[in-house]
Structure 1
């Protein structure tokens, strides 16, 4: 064996342990990162786990360890009319606010992304403004505004369905503008230009090319708008009226006089419903690409 071959053999023998050590470090780093991510997710899901667990406790006063497990609190939740009516009203308001908010918010996002006009940034800030306003402040402002409108036009807004829906539309528009804008920025304009070069008009191009490409953003905006409206308490608390109480407000009213796992049962139903909606939506539209 030549001297050069001996040196190469020695270098290879010395490099083997170093390469193995580098692979071990990379593997340890990946496991450490996964462990940290798992720990973070565990802390995030602890409240959800405890709510689901408490909803099955047998005793009326929550204490640990539980004396047993039962489903009677779910039966109690479905038997109470305020929860049934509140659930129905929350669904109604959330659906109407979602449809109107996503339609108008998507139009605003399209104008902001695709056109240049004076006051464009101010218009964008106006649409996104409700995201930075605390819910209780927005609810108080709307309540005072409704009083002024009632005195001026002699039309009822406080405690009405349309007044509540108008307030919830303010919650849905910012999410729509944010998500649809992100979807539009990532679109390839060359596809639209190719359609126009082939003879398609602006409306045909928008309907057959742009709108289908915007679908992920629109679906994500619809989902988050519905959740924001359905779960809202702070703004809704100041806009509901007699006989028009949403589910979050009904839960708050129930807690004023009783403390038992019924509230945990109602919250568990909400968690399962929203989780199912997100899983179904992610099945057709990957939310991770938009959010």
Structure 2
């Protein structure tokens, strides 16, 4: 009995140490965001809110935030429209070449983002030279790049959810006179609405946070917020980025606290399980 209690306490202490190790960088960023030193002197010699005021008034960060929100929203809508039927097909159909299709579809999960960005840069430039349509450096070019990165996550989450929907429900709707599209819309989609919400939020956050691939396909007029942060760090070393990071962390925690009120626990579990595959 004493041995089991000791083991449990040891595991709890180990877990607490691991969590403290993981949270320590966030705590340092949080403290540094109030640092009165313009050169990130540590430990801070004083505390100020000036960096938050500077970040909120910065036109580049304001423009980058708007661009990130627009690009994230549009690309999320695109991958949901494309990913939903793809996920349904992967969950329901068993056709020749399915393994090859999955390899191509999920390749962005294993290929480095820098390699994807360079490949898209070459593709966009070559396509522009051949057709006169130049997606490089345009809003839709960035949306396309983000959609390529987000599609595998959306398909993985939705395919897992479609796999748990009993086909009998859809067959019953067909027997009652529904067309295939009506049966899918009325009998299947309502059962995966939680997964749709999770995948859309996951896709939006992925797009909003993307920087490596975006650097290769973006121009200054449509820089996203992460790219603006990257450019800022090349010129300045003050705590402004720490202040902006704290605001983004707070936004992330807000999303994490809001999601459980709309999504069932099973859908959240499938989200994390799909992300590990």
TM over 0.5, shorter chain: yes
Number of residue pairs the alignment of both structures matches: 269
CA change 1:198–1:88 in 2 (3 A) is same
Matches within 5 A, 1:58-77: 58-77=36-55
Query: Within the alignment, does 1:224 sit opposite 2:202 as a pair?
Result: yes
Distance in 2 (alpha carbons) for counterparts of 1:183 and 1:26: 39
Question: Does 1:235 pair with 2:216?
Answer: no
For 1:40 and 1:189, locate their aligned partners in 2 and report how far apart those are by CA, in whole Å.
44
1:288 aligns with 2:264: no
Q: Deviations over 1:182-234 (max 9, x none)?
A: 22223334444454555554333322221111122212211111111111111
Structure 1 equivalent of residue 225 of structure 2: 247
1:14-93 equivalences under 5 Å are 21=1, 24-93=2-71
1:95 Cα deviation (Å)? 0.8
Partner of 1:140: helix, strand, or coil?
helix
Does residue 207 of the first structure (1) align with residue 185 of the second (2)? yes
Answering whether residue 129 of structure 2 is matched by residue 148 of structure 1, we say: no
Among 135, 153, 157, the residue aligned to 2:135 = 157
Alignment match, 1:110: 88
TM-score (norm 1): 0.86
8 A Cα contact 1:60 1:261, kept in partner = yes
Change (3 A) 1:245 1:113: same
Cα distance in 2 between the residues matched to 1:100 and 1:272: 27
Please give the alpha-carbon distance, in whole angstroms, between the structure 2 residues aligned to 1:288 and 1:37.
21
Q: Which blocks of at least 5 consecutive residues in structure 2 are unaligned? A: 273-277
Which residue of the partner structure matches residue 170 of structure 1? Answer: 148
User: How far is 1:67 from its partner?
Assistant: 1.4
Q: Equivalents in 2 of 1:30, 1:257: separation in Å? A: 50
Higher mean displacement: 253-262 or 116-125? 116-125
Larger radius of gyration: 1
- How much does 1:158 deviate? 1.4
